[in-house]
Amino acid sequence: MTPLLTTRDLRKNYGGLRAVDGVDFTLLPGEIHAIIGPNGAGKTTFVSLVCGRVMPSSGTIIFDGDDITDLPAYRRVRQGIAYTFQITSVFAHLSAYDNVALPMQRTLTDGRSRAKLHAGVMNALERTGLAGRANSLAGTLSYGHQRLLEVAMGLALKPRLLILDEPTQGLSDGEIAGFMDLVREIAQDATVLLIEHNMQVVMGLADRITVMNAGRILAEGTPADIRANDEVQRAYLGTEPA
């Protein structure tokens, strides 16, 4: 299968700090791929390089066969990469509906799209469980609902690759279960790259897992592979190998 995303020797340096240090990474179309690792491992910096929020010090990023290494973030959005932030970035003084409508407008190409816009916005809100809060100001939503609103905003872009950075932070147990169902549904039409600390979510969702530590890839494989990896157990899962 031809990869949807490939990085080659990808690096990001901040002075003497190597936040991302020579990462070779492959993402297959249609998979749910999780990136895990301790705080400071380079996970968010890595996905920021992929979506164009940060430019690399060196290395190459290939998306669907095209070199996007030097493309700005908005050009990558047009190519089908959507990213939800680790810290919520909704427009607090706009309604949930309007927050979704803003990115949705980018996907519409004709002037007779009012009905299509409304249908698309409500579909994204319904999928994330927020249809009943469409008219609520985003700033009045709970933190967990703001996280879900960001996912709805990402879905509005109709991405081929949806990057989710700590999406379950602030969600209740019931909301997490619903979120996992949503990600499985999204993966029927798009590829999902997920940064997540909740290991039950990771092990329950991911087809493959990449473990990062100190800016490098420590291990990669299926959930079963990662559970059985001695280095991962020591560096991240906090257990000693049997």
Rg, the chain, Cα only: 18
42 vs 108, residue with greater confidence: 42
* Distance (Å, whole) CA 23 – CA 148: 30
Task: Flag whether 49 is in a domain.
Answer: yes
Task: Flag whether 99 is in a domain.
Answer: no
The DSSP letter of residue 93 is T
pLDDT digits (tens, 9 = 90+) for 132-160: 999 999 999 988 888 889 999 989 888 99
- Stretch (H or E) spanning 121: helix 114-127
pLDDT score for 85? 64
Task: Flag whether 145 is in a domain.
Answer: no
Domain that holds residue 222: 1-80+162-167+192-242
CA 96, 102, 106, 110 dihedral sign is: positive
Mean pLDDT of the chain: 90
Q: What pTM, to 2 d.p., does this model score?
A: 0.88
Interval 117-134 mean pLDDT: 93
* Distance (Å, whole) CA 68 – CA 64: 10
Task: Flag whether 119 is in a domain.
Answer: no
* Distance (Å, whole) CA 216 – CA 238: 19
* Distance (Å, whole) CA 127 – CA 162: 15
pLDDT digits (tens, 9 = 90+) for 53-68: 999 999 999 999 999 9
Structure tokens at 225: 């592979």
Q: Which amino acid is at 62?
A: I
Greatest Cα pair distance, the chain, in angstroms, is 63
Q: What is the CATH number of the domain that holds 226?
A: 3.40.50.300
Interval 158-171 mean pLDDT: 89
CA of residue 33 relative to chain centroid, distance: 10
pLDDT digits (tens, 9 = 90+) for 199-232: 999 999 999 999 999 999 999 999 999 989 988 8
Task: Flag whether 198 is in a domain.
Answer: yes
Interval 69-93 mean pLDDT: 86
- Number of structural domains (the chain) is 1
Identify the three-state secondary structure at position 182.
helix
